[in-house]
């Protein structure tokens, strides 16, 4: 369906991911997963796909809400099934989606409250919150402080796709060019990824 | 007085297949057991090796010589209806009789021989003959009565004895007419019981017949006659039920179907009438629900068989009726709008809004990527019109793309600034709250109003052009601009045309007159 997915560079990365996941090198696998997503976004740009917004502003693409919404479903499937398989369903986008939907349908959390002190329950559930004296409640961990083993909470990984942010965006969210680290969670990006997963599932894959 | 006869009956017809032989033996024993006083007789099967396997090819038993006449008559009767080469062997103290034949008459000769040599019960003989007659016709015809009379004289029975035996043979219902009447009464009673039991059930239960068949056998009423009576009643019962279901005319024509000679034209009009009838039944079953209940599906299946309509024809009719009753779901892109229609019919607004996104992104056929300013024009006008018509239909015009266009049209002249115009549009639709310097006014998608109390045009949301919904529902102004422009291209508002271009309308009026 998507010609870009069958690209050799992507294929090579995907088989490398398989090896990393097999070795349970979760951190390297996580970084590679984000790179693969970025690569797919980059390829779309080169193939002349017009994206929604200011991609011209910075030539280096990022996983914004807009670009996340156009990631090929096939690629998402491929990445997710690798994570699912290697972790026995503990990690992966669909695990995260499952947690996200459960929270959405059950919790009393109101995203409209705009209360900085009340982080989205999703962050708490997957263990992304700092909960540490460096920063008060509601801030996310530095990437290095995430747990890269199966003891981590369910849905903890993959995380790099979320942490990878341009410096300015990081500052806006309260971090200091540390991606999502020490910043507030960007709800738009989180929701964009989850919405993308939901839409891809509608394809009936 | 009592003298025993050993009997052996064996099927020797080489054309008879294995399982046929087995069935024949089975029926033979049944037939013989049926005879007066044979209930206690022990039947022994005679086996023979055929194709390396033993197989019961006949039966061996010992009986009172008095009954031999009756047995022979019954055997004769069997041969008469099914001439199978059979070996009969009878052994009494001083007499061996053996005959192999498939002709019924031959047994009659055997009977005479037997009668001359054996002790013999005239009453038994007579009764067997009377019963045999009675079984074939259901009553004793004048000829048969005369025959019996001759037999009575030959056997030396008195008239009273013969009358007794006749009565015994024919049972409580003497003539066939009486049996018929009795059977009809019972059938009638059976069906009126069904009516009260399962009011409105279109199909007569199958097991009714099996009980009635047993009754007919016991009465000695020929099965074809009984079946005709039963079918007549069943037809009436089914027709009554179908007529109850069908309030349109047409049904009278169908009832007359049996009476008319089917010519080419008539069968065509009949086929048309059948289709019409089926269509009206469809309308009826779908009047309440988009999809007929299981019970109604049964009714439809029954009607389909009754009118001999093929499955494809039937489903075409059903789809057409559903479109007529619940709105067309035409698509230029092969997208299935059945689910959307059903959800809207159920007023399941949130699910219908989600389904709208699904069908639109499917119609766009772009890997489920959200609609953008660049891709909106790939949506087919036919599909957009279908979605709009469904939303509008089930919200009485409150929701749908046209409603949104009208809102936009209504407030368009008020705002010159593009950005502000879209903000006001969203506010009017209830998609966001008025913004202030501190607060942008966006609502999360899940805080939108999914009910008929929502402002006009609130639904369907344009979530299909959003990249995220969770923390705020806000289609980008660029996308909204493109979508609205495309909607205006696809389905121009008539009222708007009047307002904008009076000359064009005047031209149209002239043209019309």
CA–CA gap between residue B254 and residue B67 (Å, rounded): 56
Question: B123-175 pLDDT, tens per residue?
Answer: 777 777 777 777 666 667 778 778 888 888 777 777 777 777 777 777 767 67
Q: B479 to chain A: nearest residue by CA?
A: A52
What pLDDT, on a 0 to 100 scale, did the predictor assign at position B509?
42
The pLDDT value given to residue A60: 67
**Pair A161, A119: CB distance under 8 Å:** no
What ipTM describes this predicted complex? 0.86
- Inform me whether the pLDDT recorded for A55 exceeds 50: no
pLDDT of residue B429: 92
- Tell me whether residue B413 is exposed, middle or buried, using C-beta atoms within 10 angstroms of its C-beta: 0 to 12, 13 to 18, 19 or more: exposed
Note the pLDDT of residue B352.
Answer: 95
Within 8 A of B353 by CB-CB distance, chain A residues are none
| Range picked from A97-101, A115-119, A168-172, B52-56 for highest mean pLDDT | A97-101
A98 vs B497, higher pLDDT: A98
Those residues with Cβ within 8 angstroms of residue B35's Cβ, 6 or more apart along the chain or in another chain: B67, B70, B71, B74, B128
Residue from B468, B471, B483 to probe the interface with A (highest A Cβ count within 10 Å): B468
Token duo for residue A120 = 């989205």
B509 CA to centre of own chain: 54
For residue A90, pLDDT over 90 is answered with: yes
pLDDT digits (tens, 9 = 90+) for B467-494: 988 878 889 989 999 999 999 998 887 7
Select the residue of B368, B443, B467 nearest A203 (Cβ to Cβ): B368
Out of A171-185, B25-39, B454-468, the most confident range is B454-468
- The pTM is what? 0.59
Three-state DSSP at B159 gives: helix
User: Closest chain B residue to A2 measured between Cα atoms?
Assistant: B367
Q: Which of A57-71, B95-109, B186-200, B377-391 has the lowest mean pLDDT?
A: B186-200
Token pair for residue A162? 């979320």
Higher pLDDT, B304 or B267: B304
Please write the tens of the pLDDT for every residue from B426-442: 999 999 888 877 777 88
Q: Residue B112 to residues A27, A37, B69, B151: CA-CA distances in angstroms?
A: 108, 105, 9, 12
| pLDDT of B496 above 50 | no
B82 conformational bin, left if phi > 0, alpha if psi -120 to 50, beta if neither? beta
First to last CA, chain A: 12
Cα–Cα dist B161/B126, whole Å: 10
Q: What angle (nearest 5°) sits at the alpha carbon of residue A193, between those of residues A189 and A194?
A: 115
Of B79-83, B185-189, B192-196, B322-326, the range with the highest mean pLDDT is B322-326
Lowest pLDDT segment from A51-60, B62-71, B489-498: A51-60
Contact (Cβ atoms closer than 8 angstroms) between residue A119 and residue A138:
yes
Token pair in block for residue B47: 């086996």
Structure confidence by residue, pLDDT tens digits, B281-335: 888 888 878 888 888 888 888 888 888 888 888 888 888 888 888 888 888 888 8
The continuous run of DSSP H or E covering B62 comes out as strand B53-64
Q: Chain A partners of B468 at a C-beta cutoff of 8 Å?
A: 65, 69, 187-189, 191-192, 195
B36 confidence band (pLDDT: 50, 70, 90): confident
CA–CA gap between residue B448 and residue A51 (Å, rounded): 27
Q: Rounded distance, CA B298 to CA B304, Å?
A: 10
CB B84 within 8 A of CB B24: yes
For residue B89, give both structure tokens.
Answer: 């062997």
């Amino acid at each position: 369906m998507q010609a870009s997915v069958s690209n050799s560079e992507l294929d090579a990365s995907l088989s490398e991911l398989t090896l990393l996941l097999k070795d349970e090198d979760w951190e390297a696998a996580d970084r590679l997963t984000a790179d693969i997503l970025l690569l797919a976004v980059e390829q779309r740009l080169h193939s002349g796909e017009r994206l929604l917004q200011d991609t011209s502003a910075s030539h280096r693409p990022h996983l914004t809400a807009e670009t996340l919404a156009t990631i090929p479903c096939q690629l998402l499937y491929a990445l997710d099934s690798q994570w699912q398989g290697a972790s026995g369903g503990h990690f992966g986008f669909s695990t995260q989606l499952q947690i996200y939907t459960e929270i959405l349908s059950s919790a009393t959390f109101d995203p409209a409250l705009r209360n900085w002190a009340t982080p989205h329950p999703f962050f708490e559930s997957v263990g992304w919150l700092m909960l540490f004296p460096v920063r008060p409640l509601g801030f996310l961990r530095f990437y290095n402080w995430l747990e890269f083993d199966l003891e981590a909470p369910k849905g903890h990984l993959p995380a790099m796709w979320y942490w990878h942010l341009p410096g300015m965006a990081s500052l806006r969210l309260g971090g200091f060019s540390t991606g999502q680290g020490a910043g507030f969670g960007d709800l738009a990006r989180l929701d964009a990824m989850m919405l993308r997963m939901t839409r891809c599932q509608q394809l009936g894959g | 007085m009592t003298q025993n006869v050993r009997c052996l009956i064996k099927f020797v017809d080489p054309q008879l297949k294995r399982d046929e032989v087995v069935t024949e033996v089975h029926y033979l024993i049944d037939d013989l057991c049926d005879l007066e006083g044979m209930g206690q007789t022990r039947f022994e099967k005679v086996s023979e090796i055929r194709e390396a396997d033993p197989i019961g090819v006949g039966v061996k038993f010992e009986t009172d010589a008095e009954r031999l006449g009756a047995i022979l008559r019954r055997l004769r009767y069997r041969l008469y209806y099914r001439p199978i080469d059979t070996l009969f062997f009878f052994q009494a103290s001083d007499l061996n009789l053996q005959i192999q034949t498939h002709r019924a008459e031959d047994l009659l000769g055997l009977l005479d021989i037997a009668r001359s040599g054996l002790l013999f019960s005239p009453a038994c003989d007579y009764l067997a003959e009377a019963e045999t007659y009675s079984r074939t016709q259901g009553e004793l015809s004048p000829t048969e009565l005369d025959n019996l009379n001759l037999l009575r004289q030959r056997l030396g029975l008195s008239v009273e004895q013969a009358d007794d035996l006749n009565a015994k043979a024919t049972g409580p219902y003497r003539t066939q007419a009486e049996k018929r009447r009795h059977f009809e009464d019972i059938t009638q009673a059976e069906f009126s019981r069904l009516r009260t039991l399962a009011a409105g059930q279109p199909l007569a239960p199958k097991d009714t017949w099996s009980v009635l068949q047993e009754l007919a056998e016991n009465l000695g009423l020929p099965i074809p006659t009984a079946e005709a009576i039963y079918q007549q009643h069943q037809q009436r019962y089914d027709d009554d039920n179908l007529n109850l279901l069908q309030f349109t005319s047409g049904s009278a024509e169908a009832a007359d179907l049996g009476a008319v000679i089917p010519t080419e034209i008539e069968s065509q009009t009949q086929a048309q009438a059948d289709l019409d009838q089926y269509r009206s039944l469809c309308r009826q079953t779908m009047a309440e629900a988009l999809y007929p209940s299981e019970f109604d599906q049964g009714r439809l299946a029954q009607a389909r068989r009754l009118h001999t309509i093929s499955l494809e024809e039937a489903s075409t009719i059903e789809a057409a009726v559903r479109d007529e009753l619940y709105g067309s779901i035409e698509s230029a892109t092969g997208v299935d709008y059945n689910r959307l229609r059903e959800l809207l019919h159920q007023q399941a607004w949130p699910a219908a809004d989600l389904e709208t996104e699904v069908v639109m992104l499917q119609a766009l056929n772009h890997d489920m990527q959200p609609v953008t300013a660049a891709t909106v024009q790939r949506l087919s006008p036919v599909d957009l019109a279908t979605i709009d018509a469904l939303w509008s239909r089930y919200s009485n015009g409150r929701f749908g793309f046209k409603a949104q266009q009208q809102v936009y049209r209504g407030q368009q002249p008020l705002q010159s600034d593009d950005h502000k115009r879209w903000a006001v549009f969203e506010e009017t639709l209830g998609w966001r709250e008025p913004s202030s310097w501190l607060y942008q006014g966006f609502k999360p998608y899940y805080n939108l109003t999914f009910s008929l109390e929502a402002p006009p045009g609130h639904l369907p949301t344009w979530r299909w052009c959003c990249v995220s919904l969770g923390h705020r529902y806000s289609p980008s102004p660029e996308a909204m601009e493109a979508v609205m422009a495309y909607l205006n291209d696809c389905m121009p508002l008539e009222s708007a045309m009047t307002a904008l271009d009076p000359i064009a309308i005047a031209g149209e009026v002239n043209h019309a007159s």
